[in-house]
Structure 1
Amino acid sequence: MQTTSAYLLPQFKYVPYLPRVSFDSVEALVKGYLLPEKLHAMHDGLSPIHKDRLLRKPAYQSLLYGVRDVKDVLVLICGHGGRDQRCGIYGPLLRDEFEARLPEMGVDVLTGPVEIEEAPPNSLPITSANADAAASGGGWSSSARVGLISHIGGHKFAGNVIIYLPPHQKTGEGAPHPLAGHGIWYGRVEPKHVEGIVSETILKGNVISELFRGGIKQDGEILRL
């Protein structure tokens, strides 16, 4: 059975198994994780039935196998070259620079599949209640994943980099991380900036205002400087 996987951000969840031919898995993903917990006031005119259809149903979360908390720092770099070549050129250069600088500063770069406790049996239906209650233990996360992503807006701001720091992230000194559970979006990032981003943002929890384009907290609140 062919499957795909997905990161849910800023919820910091990883869904390891999404059968490509199963509508049930897509429905569980949308209703269990993607729909809002509360509707905007613009929906006040809808009937109670329609409102209910638009709200998240936590019970659906148990229908997706092996969902776990994200514990690695995620460095996502726009590598989209379809509109113009700026992100397409900068993206691979920045990826290589992050992959070189992170280990030098004590952060392991993971490149293989995300490890999970066990693979689901071939006969396991998507409606199984098996879900991984991932442990959320403390300690400094010394691992990161670096990857190119599609267009995230603003080619004139190339290179575009979004850094997601997991909720239980610690600083390089083991203290609570000021940006734990945040996504920080930087623009006009050049390879020469990467070492400073790793040192200041990933290890110390400082936002670099000169590069800052925006940010988001785990609950969806927009971060502003």
Structure 2
Amino acid sequence: MLILRGARRSLFTASFPRLTGSRRIPIPQKPPPFPVVESCPSPTCACRPVPPMPEGLDIDRKQNLNGTMASYGEQIMIATGKDDWKSKIEDEEDAHFQRKLKELLGRKGELCDPFHNSSITNVSFPAASSSPDTASAYLFPSFRYIPSIPLAGDGVKNFLRGFVKPKKLHPLNLEILDEDQQQIMVRDESLQQQFEGVREVDEIMVLICGHGGRDARCGIYGPLLRDEFEEKLQAKGIPLRPQPDLQEHHEGMSASVGLISHIGGHKYAGNVIIYIPRILREAGHPLAGKGIWYGRVDPEHVEGIVDATIVQGKVIKDMFRGGIEDNDARSVIRL
């Protein structure tokens, strides 16, 4: 179900049948906004074994995963070239960009908008430059890559205002902010001209939480699932991009697989986000332009995810934590 603003009442009534006398009249549910399969197809070949989890850090195999993803308007994914980070990514010695982002977008920050949350995560992909004066970032579900973001002056602020802020403000913001504040809080796409080398992300992105510095379960699952996804993607004939920061041309699908920092739900490890690029709309891919969150992913599920979700565009219901789509509403998708 696609949860939209003002739809809370319909969600409630859809969950509890209306009573009329002694008759129960069910209210029909909306069909899912994409094809769905109930469970992951079984593997056809051997998979990597999962080591035992540390004592007291079991995987939650009982809770319904639907709706357990965090709501966000944009995921800012910072290229670090590292596979793991400190518990708080802004505590890394070279986390200048992360600290500036949190300063501007945090609770008392100049660009804080409670109606358009920005998720700030690290990714293992290398930055375009090793210079400490610039940063590289991916944006989802905008499907943009910005290779060079200056950290000095208003560089980070202009990046946020040009690429990350919403195109339209929430109605409550229109009521409480004056006109000058509204102009700062809404996207100004003219600022994008200050940034060179910006490209559309046209490859499939498989992002696995591998943040062992935050939780050992993700630290165990992350590298294990990365190897499994890379193997199964190539076995399916989907080439990997050895340098995701570079623009490359591939006929059909290509993919990048990376480890990311904390996204919530360690107890649901392995946690995987799959972004299907907008360009695949031309091929009729049902999930093009969407991000799909999965939990409780084991190596034995990877082949099925590659085939069902990445190739066929079907969401696996019993692993689905939620999703997001490239639209102005940035509404969380639930089943």
| TM-score class, shorter | 0.7 to 0.9
> What's the % identity of the aligned pairs?
52
- d(CA) in 1 for partners of 2:150 and 2:320? 37
> Equivalent residue of 2:245, what SS?
coil
> Equivalent residue of 2:197, what SS?
coil
Task: Indicate conservation of the 8 Å contact 1:159/1:189, yes or no.
Answer: yes
Q: State the TM-score, normalizing by the size of structure 2.
A: 0.57
> Equivalent residue of 1:192, what SS?
helix
Counterpart pick for 2:266 among 155, 159, 177: 155
Name structure 2 gaps, 5 residues minimum. Answer: 1-128
- d(CA) in 2 for partners of 1:113 and 1:143? 10
- d(CA) in 2 for partners of 1:70 and 1:45? 35
Deviations 1:52-73 (A, max 9, x none): 1111101001111111101110
Which residue matches 1:193? 301
- d(CA) in 1 for partners of 2:256 and 2:149? 21
Q: Does 1:15 align with 2:146?
A: yes
Distance 1:140 1:185, change over 3 A: farther
Q: How many residues align?
A: 201
Q: Which amino acid aligns with 1:214?
A: G
User: Taking CA–CA contacts closer than 8 Å with sequence separation of 6 or more, which of the two structures ends up with the larger relative contact order?
Assistant: 2
Task: Indicate conservation of the 8 Å contact 1:71/1:141, yes or no.
Answer: no
1:11 to partner: Cα distance: 0.2
Task: Indicate conservation of the 8 Å contact 1:177/1:204, yes or no.
Answer: yes
- Greater shift, 154-163 or 46-55, is seen at 46-55
Which residue matches 1:75? 206
1:140 to partner: Cα distance: 5.9
> Equivalent residue of 2:303, what SS?
helix
Distance 1:83 1:14, change over 3 A: closer
Q: Does 1:89 align with 2:220?
A: yes
- d(CA) in 2 for partners of 1:197 and 1:140? 21
Which residue matches 2:119? none
Counterpart pick for 2:168 among 38, 44, 55: 38
- d(CA) in 2 for partners of 1:11 and 1:94? 25
Counterpart pick for 1:205 among 267, 291, 313: 313
Which residue matches 2:236? 105
- d(CA) in 1 for partners of 2:306 and 2:212? 25
1:93 to partner: Cα distance: 0.4
Deviations 1:166-222 (A, max 9, x none): 00126xxx8410000000000000000000000000000000001100000011222
> Equivalent residue of 2:207, what SS?
strand
- d(CA) in 2 for partners of 1:5 and 1:99? 23
1:115 to partner: Cα distance: 2.2
- d(CA) in 1 for partners of 2:177 and 2:265? 35
> Equivalent residue of 2:316, what SS?
coil
Q: How large is the Cα RMSD of the aligned pairs?
A: 2.0
Q: Which amino acid aligns with 2:135?
A: T
Which residue matches 2:85? none
Q: Which amino acid aligns with 2:194?
A: L
Distance 1:113 1:72, change over 3 A: closer
- d(CA) in 2 for partners of 1:58 and 1:105? 38
Task: Indicate conservation of the 8 Å contact 1:71/1:168, yes or no.
Answer: yes
- d(CA) in 1 for partners of 2:289 and 2:213? 31
List structure 1 segments (4+ residues) > 6 angstroms apart after TM superposition.
Answer: none
- d(CA) in 2 for partners of 1:181 and 1:141? 16
Which residue matches 1:216? 324
Task: Indicate conservation of the 8 Å contact 2:204/2:255, yes or no.
Answer: yes
- d(CA) in 2 for partners of 1:153 and 1:15? 25
Q: Which amino acid aligns with 1:85?
A: A
Name structure 1 gaps, 5 residues minimum. Answer: 118-136
Task: Indicate conservation of the 8 Å contact 1:215/1:224, yes or no.
Answer: yes
